Structure 1
Amino acid sequence: MIRWLIIALNLSVAGLFADELAGNTGAMQEGEKKLNRLAGEASPYLRQHATNPVDWYPWGEAAFQKAQRENKPILLSIGYSTCHWCHVMERESFENEEIAKLLNAHFVAIKLDREERPDVDKIYMTAYQAMMGENGGWPLNIFLTPGLKPFYGGTYFPPTSRAGRVGFQEVLIQLKDAWAAKQQEIEGSADKIRQHLSEAYGKAHPSDGVPPVDILMMAGVKLLQHGDKRQGGWGAGPKFPQPSHLLFLLREWRRSGNPDILEFAKLTADRMAAGGIHDQLGGGFHRYAVDGKWLVPHFEKMLYDQAQLMDFYTEMWVITKDPTYAQVVKGIAEFVIGEMQAEQGGFYCAEDAQSEGKEGKYWCWTMAELRELLSEDELNVVTSYYGLTDEGNFYDHSDPEALENQNVLSVVNPDVAKKSPDLLQQAQVKMLAVRQKRVEPSTDDKVLASWNGMMIGALARAGAAFHEESYIKASERAYDFVKKEMWNGKRLAHRWHGGDLDESAQAESYLLMLQAARRMYEIRLNPDDLEWAIQLAEVAESLFYDREHGGFFESAEAADVIVRMKGDYDGAMPTAGSVAALEYLKLAEITGREDFQQLGQKTLQAQGRVLEEAPTSLTFMLAALDFYHSKHQRLVLVDGEGGKEAFLQQVSGKYLPNLTVMSNEGKVAEFERGLRAKEGKATAYFCEGEACQPPVTEAAALKLK
């Protein structure tokens, strides 16, 4: 049923497996190019297309009305500013005058930044996957009826057919002809696709109760079975970090005590840290590797990757005390604070893969460059350490004029750093200084509440673990910015750009900022943080919770949302429901509120069948399931002489994923509010399950395990 139209149109479109593969149009001038209506948009991605000859519309009522008035199908083209294949398709197709004429005459063309409207992107990516039976990726080019219902789609199209891929020009011609001849059939197929989405992804499929604890062990076993035992991670390539998997594995190692789980996590951490996916000079991680060895990345750097991988490497350091992991965290922090934090405090979205129009140019090296820059001894050390060659290890086959002899830096001979540390450091300092003089990749300078929430929590946790005040201050600046500029006391904006706020309500922003507020509370024990977490939780419930079936929708009710989706896969980012499950359970622990406990439980139950049938699809939600089934650890710190800092430092140095830290002030549970300091000194009360230790006034006497 879903694939009917694809067969009827006789089109063959292969998707790219990747996470990013995977008005008056003539009113203004820029040089010799006309600016289209995207020039006035806040999104850097949309503004990248402002000089295309395509008569682009932003997602909104003007475009929808035009399609209905003129009875034209819609091309919805979705991407983001740092997406490599989006750049390629723009260069090849959206700058092409002939293709633009076809689009302008027979379609209403809409450009959408997936980061601004993740809810809309989720609908149409899921529709594409259902129609085509493929993983999908970006750019996503999906064709809609004037009523916004999808009927055909693809990811990257070359301008004309080549190498087994149908050309974009041919697609447009066939679709315009099909719309003219078979509109009624297309509309009928689109109705069925929308119905399928609603039934399969818009409703919960609950289990009879909260899924059993056995699912945690099953998920751990499956992740190990399917893991790459030589290179770490999952899959033969392209290879993604998948931090939700990694963070769950650490929890499952603590729960089960299985040493194989920790060994696999270490293998993955080590291979990623040594690979080209890790920026060896400037810190931080690129989006993913195109191969199975973590060597050649797509070079964009996303804020959400930095946040989740900072969490993972912080916890790896807490568990193992391996200094390599501390260096990785330091590199991420320095990159994010130095390159991605706005003057106002918020964190920007991403850094592009391209500079001067070339993928990886900013990060790669030729041997010719290094021979001019380094002494003979430094060159020998660097060549051996990074495994550099004259031929290079990276060539961009998507670029008709690709740079040659490019080397991505990856650690292939780590012993060099032990034998010649001074020479290696001298060379790296020289290389970094030269790199900083190159033309830098562009930065997507939107501030998203959701991604900032992730980064705020990760930086605060790392700052506490490493006793690094600069990390905590940076997280506090971002936290204060979001609270001041993006929260009006009743609603949280999803996107800020130069003072402009969007009006969409995105579940991921509410729930990830709830996560940030709760994490800040546990680190600072400021009652105001708990108060904001509660406010966000209450508004999120009213906007996104499914009162009939349980669980959380990704979007609020809106006229431009044809299906309210529930996420069923924790991929590059966790779904809203996965974040909600843990956060409401944690808030229930702190506040004693039964309604929060029920929200957490019903969210787990709403995805019960998914967890039972495919537990590794929702590994972030498994963290909530682990918390639900664990012997909860509660530490209540009561202020007094000497202060609480020594207790907090002891907590931050241990891996205690199911510990909840709270004070006796603010909107905490009634029992905790009644606790008092002993003899006027700061006092710690620690309980696990139903057993409590005697209260202590010295941090050394606190026994945490």
Structure 2
Amino acid sequence: MTPEGGPRFTNRLIAETSPYLLQHAHNPVNWFPWGDAAFERARRDNRPVLLSVGYSTCHWCHVMERESFEDLEIARFINEHFVAIKVDREERPDVDAVYMNAVHLLGSRGGWPMTVVLTPQRQPFFAGTYFPARDGDRGAHKGLLTILGELADLYRTDPERVVATARRVTERLQAEAAPARPGDLAGPDAIRAAVVNLARRFDPVNGGFGGAPKFPTPSNLALVARYFHRTQDPQALTILARTLEKMAAGGIYDHVGGGFHRYATDAAWGVPHFEKMLYDNAQLAVAYLDGYQLTGRADFAGVARETLDYVAREMTDATGGFHSATDADSPAPGGDEPEEGRFFTWTPAELRAALDPEAARAFAAYYGVTERGNLDGRSVLHVGAPLASVAATLGVTPAQLDATLGAARATLFDVRARRPPPLRDDKIIAAWNGLMISAFARGAAVLGEPRYLERATAAAEHVIGRMLDGDLLARTWNDGRTRSAGVLDDYAFVAQGLLDLYEAGHDVRWLREAITLQAAMDRRFLDAANGGYFSTPAGDAGVLTREKPDYDGAEPSGNAVALLNLLRLEEFTGDDAYRQAAERGLRAFSRSLTRGGGVSLMLCALDYLLDRPLEVVIVSVAPGAGAALDAALRTSYLPNRIVVQATEGEDLARQAALVPLVADKRVLSGRATAFVCRGRVCEQPTGDPGQLAAQLAKTEPLFEVAPAPLPAPVRGR
């Protein structure tokens, strides 16, 4: 800081909108944002490029900034020998994906912060992740200063070697990104093989798949749910229900404020890494809604509701869009140094200070708050025993304990709100907003909550009104400004959100917007030769390769969501071109689908294609008159279906202009009427909710002959 209290250094990042880039705007490093200007400078000065990629809620990104990028000696060396570029991976996922592949090719494990050294032609010749500042720090043989010194010397003294390495890596990146030739369309056996693999990896004690660290994998849960729906294999339902209940009981779930943390550091979901990501909470809210529909368990509906309420309360911008994330770290009251999880953890003394003695004792017993704690002397809240068991130990009834815990949670929420909160990344990302629009729309439809429909609608208004200009959907918006052109995920996830919003709220505008966005996505990203979609548009010289993503990560595959959207659009519009495009896409990824692992959501798209999806139309004489039929629909798990609800008259005519199958539907016998069809072959129209529920319960089997039961988990995995 200057004597006047202002920042001592300011670099080019000060003009950016990303909170992560703005965090680095006063580093002594002369950071450039990603763009032509940085590479032109590198070419002019004949310097290598130091590319540092991270995100605002990344713990080790903060550590590397404090240790290295705020160190004057290291900053001076970087400024003299490199052109330094800082990238927010959430703002430029295309850049992040290319150079993360380079990290792997050069023999390092992936992660963030990502540290890559490039030629001025954007070709990588060195890659890694976090590096401590100096030799010996944190037990490292070499620190960042030494590594950069060696790389600067190499670039100066042996440029031919640098160019050869960079060219070799780039050629491998381009070869791996080259589209595969289409193959045969996969069949039901591919779906079963993937679910069998998940069943073997299933943790029967703690739920989830594999061991520590343990991540929520909503795409895997979606596939398992569909498999149960189509086969009625009880082990599939066990996998889904056990995972949902154990995550909700664990420390990965915020028992005071709702919502989920990023992942658990242990196999039992006990101690999380505490950042909260919008995309996790969107997908997990949907997973719990699915679980509720399949099991009828009110606790699953409760978790979905608390998660949506958390996002509505703490992650919603005044414009209606949703913010991206909150950090894992926050300072203790009166402290300056951030501590991981400080905001979310408790001690017995803090409980006694906030609650009456009986409530403090009950809360500590149920949520595992001890003097020793399980994280640096503090306790991450988690449920270790059933409510009835803890109630018996305390000598109260389960109902009494439940009431005590509910009141205590409300009190502790208010107490916690007075603590210094974690940093919130308030940029609005199109793709993640699309996922959250879907979650709120699904929540409105399944839980019958009009306020969730209002949230979904407001977010859709924000994205379409502020982030879309013709064919160009912006990736991010913050403080009134957009940044970066959207990638495939942005278009696909927003289109999915609009389709879900149309089904939940019956406003045909959103179907029209989804059709328009799909056409824009086709023009920008479609691989017309092979099927499927690239992640970036043609002619983008800013990245080395055009990826065609098929694997699910923390976010679902953009291609998988795009193919599901196409199949739904064909059902709505009757335009077979959508189905043909979806089938071409599935053929383009046939090799990945038959290999099985990591493509769960694309296998859900395959399941949709192989099924005869339900077409459900409810026509009523006035808005709300079909509420009883809607209630029957609400509790039915129907993954492969479309739903259209219309009011006779102008509304039905507007919808029929885009959805031909409603054109001939009319109210019968003066009351709301439901029409349930498969492949345009319809059941008897009905106004009776019980009869509608029976019609909806009919399922097309995935296999002509029932397959063998799913295997038991492999022990020790």
TM-score (norm 1): 0.91
Deviations 1:189-247 (A, max 9, x none): 2222222222212313421x221111111111000101222211122211100111111
Deviates more, 1:159-168 or 1:439-448: 159-168
The CA distance in 1 between the partners of 2:586 and 2:451, in whole Å, is 37
1:163 counterpart letter in structure 2: G
1:628 corresponds in structure 2 to 609
Query: Where in structure 2 are the equivalents of 1:180-195 lying within 5 Å?
Result: 180-195=156-171
Does the CA contact (< 8 Å) of 1:378 and 1:423 recur in 2?
yes
Helix, strand or coil at the partner of 2:550: coil
The CA distance in 1 between the partners of 2:299 and 2:293, in whole Å, is 12
1:158 equivalenced with 2:140 (yes/no): no
1:249 equivalenced with 2:224 (yes/no): yes
Q: CA deviation at 1:690?
A: 6.1
Does the CA contact (< 8 Å) of 1:27 and 1:35 recur in 2?
no
1:103 equivalenced with 2:81 (yes/no): no
1:139 corresponds in structure 2 to 113
The CA distance in 2 between the partners of 1:42 and 1:28, in whole Å, is 27
- Structure 2 residue aligned with 1:486, among 467, 470, 475? 467
Does the CA contact (< 8 Å) of 1:158 and 1:165 recur in 2?
no
The CA distance in 2 between the partners of 1:194 and 1:568, in whole Å, is 21
Q: Structure 1's 165 and 683: CA in aligned 2 closer, same or farther, altered over 3 A?
A: farther
1:414 equivalenced with 2:406 (yes/no): no
2:209 counterpart letter in structure 1: W
Q: Structure 1's 685 and 508: CA in aligned 2 closer, same or farther, altered over 3 A?
A: same
1:684 counterpart letter in structure 2: A
1:179 corresponds in structure 2 to 155
Q: CA deviation at 1:568?
A: 3.1
- Structure 2 residue aligned with 1:569, among 538, 551, 560? 551
Does the CA contact (< 8 Å) of 1:686 and 1:692 recur in 2?
yes
Deviations 1:127-161 (A, max 9, x none): 21222253x11111111111111121111111124
Does the CA contact (< 8 Å) of 1:58 and 1:112 recur in 2?
yes
Deviations 1:662-699 (A, max 9, x none): 36624445454344444665432211246421222444
- Structure 1 residue aligned with 2:427, among 435, 446, 452? 446
2:439 corresponds in structure 1 to 458
Q: CA deviation at 1:565?
A: 0.5
Query: Where in structure 2 are the equivalents of 1:500-649 lying within 5 Å?
Result: 500-557=481-538, 558-613=540-595, 615-640=596-621, 643-649=625-631
Helix, strand or coil at the partner of 1:34: coil
Does the CA contact (< 8 Å) of 2:572 and 2:658 recur in 1?
yes
The CA distance in 2 between the partners of 1:373 and 1:688, in whole Å, is 57
Deviations 1:320-339 (A, max 9, x none): 12122122112111110000
1:9 corresponds in structure 2 to none
Q: Structure 1's 527 and 378: CA in aligned 2 closer, same or farther, altered over 3 A?
A: closer
Helix, strand or coil at the partner of 1:662: strand
Query: Where in structure 2 are the equivalents of 1:371-450 lying within 5 Å?
Result: 371-395=352-376, 405-415=377-387, 416=390, 418=398, 420-450=401-431
Does the CA contact (< 8 Å) of 1:585 and 1:628 recur in 2?
yes
2:708 corresponds in structure 1 to none
Does the CA contact (< 8 Å) of 2:14 and 2:25 recur in 1?
yes
Does the CA contact (< 8 Å) of 1:584 and 1:600 recur in 2?
yes
Q: Structure 1's 685 and 141: CA in aligned 2 closer, same or farther, altered over 3 A?
A: same
Helix, strand or coil at the partner of 2:281: helix
1:142 counterpart letter in structure 2: V
The CA distance in 1 between the partners of 2:234 and 2:434, in whole Å, is 32
TM-score (norm 2): 0.90
The CA distance in 1 between the partners of 2:639 and 2:566, in whole Å, is 16
The CA distance in 1 between the partners of 2:4 and 2:122, in whole Å, is 32
2:713 corresponds in structure 1 to none
Q: CA deviation at 1:103?
A: 1.0
The CA distance in 1 between the partners of 2:224 and 2:407, in whole Å, is 38
- Structure 1 residue aligned with 2:678, among 673, 688, 692? 688
Q: CA deviation at 1:476?
A: 1.1
The CA distance in 2 between the partners of 1:671 and 1:39, in whole Å, is 53
Deviates more, 1:151-160 or 1:427-436: 427-436
Query: Which runs of no fewer than 5 residues in structure 1 stay unpaired?
Result: 1-25, 396-404
Q: Structure 1's 671 and 689: CA in aligned 2 closer, same or farther, altered over 3 A?
A: closer
Does the CA contact (< 8 Å) of 1:125 and 1:140 recur in 2?
yes
Does the CA contact (< 8 Å) of 1:544 and 1:554 recur in 2?
yes
2:58 corresponds in structure 1 to 83
Q: Structure 1's 531 and 477: CA in aligned 2 closer, same or farther, altered over 3 A?
A: same
Does the CA contact (< 8 Å) of 2:499 and 2:510 recur in 1?
yes
- Structure 1 residue aligned with 2:696, among 678, 681, 704? 704
1:206 equivalenced with 2:188 (yes/no): no
Helix, strand or coil at the partner of 1:492: strand
1:167 equivalenced with 2:139 (yes/no): no
2:302 counterpart letter in structure 1: Q
Helix, strand or coil at the partner of 1:62: helix
1:237 equivalenced with 2:219 (yes/no): no
1:608 counterpart letter in structure 2: S
2:550 counterpart letter in structure 1: D
1:610 counterpart letter in structure 2: S
Q: Structure 1's 165 and 662: CA in aligned 2 closer, same or farther, altered over 3 A?
A: farther
Deviations 1:390-415 (A, max 9, x none): 222113xxxxxxxxx12111111332
Q: CA deviation at 1:352?
A: 1.2
2:173 counterpart letter in structure 1: L
1:481 counterpart letter in structure 2: H
Q: CA deviation at 1:658?
A: 0.8
Does the CA contact (< 8 Å) of 1:286 and 1:298 recur in 2?
yes
Helix, strand or coil at the partner of 1:76: strand
2:262 corresponds in structure 1 to 287
- Structure 2 residue aligned with 1:471, among 429, 447, 452? 452
The CA distance in 2 between the partners of 1:220 and 1:282, in whole Å, is 33
Query: Which runs of no fewer than 5 residues in structure 2 stay unpaired?
Result: 332-337, 392-397, 646-651, 698-717
Q: Structure 1's 29 and 667: CA in aligned 2 closer, same or farther, altered over 3 A?
A: farther
1:384 counterpart letter in structure 2: A
1:297 equivalenced with 2:297 (yes/no): no
1:10 corresponds in structure 2 to none
1:341 equivalenced with 2:322 (yes/no): no
Q: CA deviation at 1:178?
A: 1.5
1:585 counterpart letter in structure 2: L
Helix, strand or coil at the partner of 1:372: helix
2:706 corresponds in structure 1 to none
Deviates more, 1:195-204 or 1:90-99: 195-204
The CA distance in 2 between the partners of 1:34 and 1:120, in whole Å, is 27
The CA distance in 1 between the partners of 2:23 and 2:76, in whole Å, is 19
Does the CA contact (< 8 Å) of 1:523 and 1:648 recur in 2?
no
The CA distance in 2 between the partners of 1:674 and 1:376, in whole Å, is 66
Q: CA deviation at 1:28?
A: 13
1:409 counterpart letter in structure 2: L
Helix, strand or coil at the partner of 2:157: helix
Q: CA deviation at 1:524?
A: 2.4
The CA distance in 2 between the partners of 1:90 and 1:497, in whole Å, is 23
1:36 equivalenced with 2:11 (yes/no): yes
2:641 corresponds in structure 1 to 659
1:515 counterpart letter in structure 2: Q
1:217 counterpart letter in structure 2: R
1:197 counterpart letter in structure 2: L
The CA distance in 1 between the partners of 2:506 and 2:7, in whole Å, is 58
Helix, strand or coil at the partner of 2:474: coil
The CA distance in 2 between the partners of 1:105 and 1:358, in whole Å, is 34
Q: CA deviation at 1:577?
A: 0.7
Does the CA contact (< 8 Å) of 1:640 and 1:683 recur in 2?
no
1:121 corresponds in structure 2 to 96
Deviates more, 1:320-329 or 1:334-343: 320-329
The CA distance in 2 between the partners of 1:298 and 1:423, in whole Å, is 28
Q: Structure 1's 388 and 186: CA in aligned 2 closer, same or farther, altered over 3 A?
A: same
Q: CA deviation at 1:587?
A: 0.6
Deviations 1:414-440 (A, max 9, x none): 323626233333432332221011111
